[in-house]
Amino acid sequence: MISKLIYKNKTNIYLFETNDNQLKTNYEQLMLQKDEARNNQIKTCAHKLHHYKNGLETALIQLADVEEKYRSYTIIGRLLHYHSYQNQMTQYDNDIKYYRPLMNHWRQELWNKIHETEDMNDIKQQIYALLESHHYRKLTEKTKSNDVITEYWVKTKTRRA
């Protein structure tokens, strides 16, 4: 049985083909696990971003409500409620200062996770381990123009006990 791994150096572009059904199944499971792990990281970032965004929105709404309420007071009412108004405004300003950088951090983190490319060396090493565990050995390696490398792997005969 023959397997073929084609990849371009210093990129994450690759193609893996095999006519061994067991190896193909194991490779697909490996790729599903990698995709699932990546999706879980993205979901975690999105959840944290959503949490901090909600906190920021709540603080902004409460700040606007306090300002509107204070503006609706008469001059005497404003004098009576000034300290309470100042304390609430300070609290909501502090909440905004707390949530805004965290929201921006998790927005950037989510962006990075979504646009993060796979490490080709990591993928290659996992495919090599898979090939070796299925008793394959490298037959040839050809390098074409633009650093495109094609590796051919063949299954060695295994003795049955």
Distance CA 4, CA 1 (A): 10
pLDDT for 159: 57
Q: How far is CA 48 from CA 12, 42, 125, in A?
A: 29, 10, 32
Burial 29-40 (b: 16+ CB within 10 A, else e): eeeeeeeeeeee
- Tens digits of residue pLDDT in 74-123: 988 888 989 999 999 999 999 999 999 999 999 999 999 999 887 788 88
pLDDT confidence of residue 160 = 57
Output the pTM of the full model: 0.74
Task: Tell me how far apart the alpha carbons of residues 150 and 123 are, in angstroms, rounded to a whole number.
Answer: 15
Q: Select the more confidently predicted residue: 51 or 139.
A: 51
Q: Residue 135 gets which letter from DSSP?
A: T
